[in-house]
Structure 1
């Protein structure tokens, strides 16, 4: 009964999303700017919730509660307070200036904005290549998760490859039809749904437990007294700051998030959105992570290391089957919602920053719109093929699946390496093309080497190691990027093609 209900909810979500996509398609102009940025018309609610749902969907329901269950509720500080506030600041520092430049010059991607300032197609392509490298495994992970979930729900009647293919085909159809406008509309509905369901789950569990919060606290006191203390164990100051900084700076460079900096309808919309962001984050994370900690106090068991999630266990124990099915199926739908934005951004980075400058910059608007929609299909199908191959290898005993998961975990740090060079470029007039090329490429190479090469990797592909004095390697690499960008810029002359005043004419 539960599996049938979950499948029904997922199919219902797909049909609703498809209907929204059809409406959006009728309203979308056949231009790349409208397809990618909805002609820069987002109001406060839509802009805020499309960033919210794109970033925080499946993680909120699965990863966050699992971390709180395993290590304690301090994860709220990492993701709620520190990450919420740091990202809101970056939304202003990076996003506001990007919006101003986008309004004046019509930029659609980060690479386009940087390439114009430094007169460099190579820089434009490099930023796109780095972004696509870290984005690709994220799309794969969504497909693997959705394919596995459908296979589990149907007891194998729908094989993994069939479920993954079904979801991928739907995403292609939806994104090709809907573009940014339709995705943002469904993101808004999804964000409101997430907030409603997570608070409903919190209240439902609290009322269902005999003795309420007193029983939960007594269980925590007996089984996990460290949960009442601030810090310690996993939550060292270095660990919390590394996660908060890496995630916040990485999020600011995520293509599907960074691109939304260009889409606000007005300055007031943009400023109001980043001011409200920390509040929205706390409204979602606090109940989700508390549920994970409560599961520990209630003595529930889940093998987190083996991929089991604690939230379905908790909901299955204390809420009706239909409610648990609604929350879990909604999380799966949210996973697909995140993939939609990733596919759209991946397509834009390829068409705008690789195809146009490297192959044909004189392409017409309609031709680029057609290429953009085709790019969505190519990117999605390539990720699907890689997902099916990786899952088959994992089932065969190889380590491809675990490597893929590690790449996904490390992607935040990979994207974070772009942030400081971008900030330097936006605010230091003497930044040079050579400084930017070196500042983008060097920390990426160092970060990849430390995490993937056996000769240099410490701790077997992990963000943390005692060899780094407790701090994550991503932070050290970010500092390398900052020093290299500033140092090489100070030692090199600006090329004649560079527009030194482009980022500063806004204040003149």
Structure 2
């Protein structure tokens, strides 16, 4: 099959998603709340799958199989099982309380929620700034993933830069037109599509190589080390596995594009059904994707050195070209699902938590809607330019962003459930943990791990200690609203 047809399949799939966005644009009110949260009307299926598809990123489809190929299948335990359970718990602990507060006070962002409680626009701006800082590399990760996937699938006919540019153009067009409503609709379709396609890909490859027993036997014979198929190794230490699962789970809960979906549920019942089903969806997707990467390590036909992505190489070798192109098209659409949600949320953090408090507090809803769409364009183009330099691997980019967002989780949880939390305490917790983690990422003399535990998990504990400790020794400011999260909250309307 020609490269032209491959490109046609991929572009055709993306255009189909864009048409859904055009239809959604016709139904979207020109208000910020409808643009950001679809007027808080999501049902169970849409909420579950839009959250699911939002997380089906380049980290899932490409970094995950790469890790399994290079280090063994325990990555399924980290990302598929442990992380799925941790996030489901946080969906209830953080998400349910946020949903109650959002319905009562009209919050759109977590920064808005915190700024109102502590009477501080600076805290609101701090949370938004930290979130945008870590959102930027994760948007860039999707562009890196799209560029490398298309380059591998077409054997260089589409360059890395062209592939990254293609996904960027579709992201911009889609988000500017669709808003949250259109994104949620296509997320639901794309999430279900990729779930089916990943399993079909696994079964197709296994049929070509003789089934799971033959694949495992070949892997056992060719494994670089005896540890590859055994539980635990120098790479998968208990400390590393727990640190990674915890930081990813807590980081996901603070991702703007995920966190805002806590505000968008139509009822308490919708939220509860969604978080119960979440771990099942994680296992159903991650097992086939990561096992493809694991079994590929024993296949001589798949030559992977760690540069690029192993999944397109497996598909190109063992499935028809049209099917490989369809899977990559779906993966790119899933990456677009992540990116469009990130751009939408990043835009809301900019307009709601930076532009309104610090530039124009009286901005009209329609003008805010316009500014949000312009912000999407600027953010996407800036991330694309950065992605052309491809400064790190997909796993390194994703891991840094997960851990960066995870630093916010414990201070936010303390504020949601402990009335005694003060503005000074939560500010110290956020700033202290962020400074520590940023130092571990960018300063060579700051260790990245401590007795096997990652700097991300150490930073989270530091943030917790600072939030609680400083709150105990400081008094609430005069404009804090200590009862904001406790009195009158719990009227579970809309069940």
CA drift at 1:232:
2.6
Matched residues in 1 for 2:411 and 2:160: separation?
Answer: 41
The equivalent of 2:67 in structure 1 is 67
Contact conserved, 1:134 with 1:408, CA < 8 A, in 2? no
Deviations 1:125-159 (A, max 9, x none): 00000000011122223223334545566666665
Q: Residues 87-102 of structure 1 correspond to what in structure 2 (within 5 A)?
A: 87-102=87-102
- Go from structure 1 to structure 2 and tell me whether the alpha carbon gap of 1:316 and 1:137 turns closer, same or farther (over 3 Å shift): same
Q: Quick one: which of 469, 480, 486 aligns to 1:498?
A: 480
Matched residues in 2 for 1:155 and 1:410: separation?
Answer: 30
CA drift at 1:313:
2.4
Deviations 1:194-214 (A, max 9, x none): 11011111211222223x233
- Go from structure 1 to structure 2 and tell me whether the alpha carbon gap of 1:194 and 1:304 turns closer, same or farther (over 3 Å shift): farther
Matched residues in 2 for 1:300 and 1:490: separation?
Answer: 61
Matched residues in 2 for 1:363 and 1:441: separation?
Answer: 29
CA drift at 1:442:
0.7
Contact conserved, 2:139 with 2:383, CA < 8 A, in 1? yes
- Go from structure 1 to structure 2 and tell me whether the alpha carbon gap of 1:491 and 1:429 turns closer, same or farther (over 3 Å shift): same
Greater displacement, 140-149 / 34-43:
140-149
Matched residues in 1 for 2:387 and 2:221: separation?
Answer: 43
The equivalent of 1:396 in structure 2 is none
Q: Residues 182-261 of structure 1 correspond to what in structure 2 (within 5 A)?
A: 182-210=182-210, 212-224=211-223, 225-261=226-262
The equivalent of 1:395 in structure 2 is none
Contact conserved, 1:57 with 1:194, CA < 8 A, in 2? no
1:106 equivalenced with 2:106 (yes/no)? yes
Matched residues in 2 for 1:101 and 1:413: separation?
Answer: 26
Q: Normalising to structure 1: TM-score of the pair?
A: 0.91
Where 1:14 maps in the other structure, the secondary structure is: helix
**Structure 2 gaps, min length 5:** none
The equivalent of 1:394 in structure 2 is none
CA drift at 1:3:
2.7
The equivalent of 2:454 in structure 1 is 472
The equivalent of 1:322 in structure 2 is 322
Q: Residues 375-414 of structure 1 correspond to what in structure 2 (within 5 A)?
A: 375-388=375-388, 390=389, 401-402=391-392, 406-414=396-404
Matched residues in 1 for 2:148 and 2:237: separation?
Answer: 34
Where 1:297 maps in the other structure, the secondary structure is: coil
Deviations 1:398-455 (A, max 9, x none): xxx239974443111110000000000000000000111111111100111122113x
The equivalent of 2:466 in structure 1 is 484
Contact conserved, 2:59 with 2:394, CA < 8 A, in 1? no
**Structure 1 gaps, min length 5:** 392-400
Deviations 1:252-299 (A, max 9, x none): 000111111100011100110000000010010111112122212334
Q: Normalising to structure 2: TM-score of the pair?
A: 0.94
Matched residues in 2 for 1:289 and 1:24: separation?
Answer: 34
Matched residues in 2 for 1:173 and 1:97: separation?
Answer: 34
Contact conserved, 2:46 with 2:188, CA < 8 A, in 1? yes
Q: Residues 69-84 of structure 1 correspond to what in structure 2 (within 5 A)?
A: 69-84=69-84
CA drift at 1:348:
0.3
The equivalent of 2:367 in structure 1 is 367
- Go from structure 1 to structure 2 and tell me whether the alpha carbon gap of 1:153 and 1:312 turns closer, same or farther (over 3 Å shift): closer
Q: Quick one: which of 435, 448, 457 aligns to 2:446?
A: 457
Q: Residues 411-426 of structure 1 correspond to what in structure 2 (within 5 A)?
A: 411-426=401-416
Give the paired residue count.
488
Contact conserved, 1:219 with 1:298, CA < 8 A, in 2? yes
Matched residues in 2 for 1:377 and 1:217: separation?
Answer: 47
Q: What RMSD, in angstroms, separates the aligned Cα atoms of the two structures?
A: 2.0
- Go from structure 1 to structure 2 and tell me whether the alpha carbon gap of 1:315 and 1:264 turns closer, same or farther (over 3 Å shift): same
CA drift at 1:48:
0.6
- Go from structure 1 to structure 2 and tell me whether the alpha carbon gap of 1:181 and 1:323 turns closer, same or farther (over 3 Å shift): same
1:437 equivalenced with 2:427 (yes/no)? yes
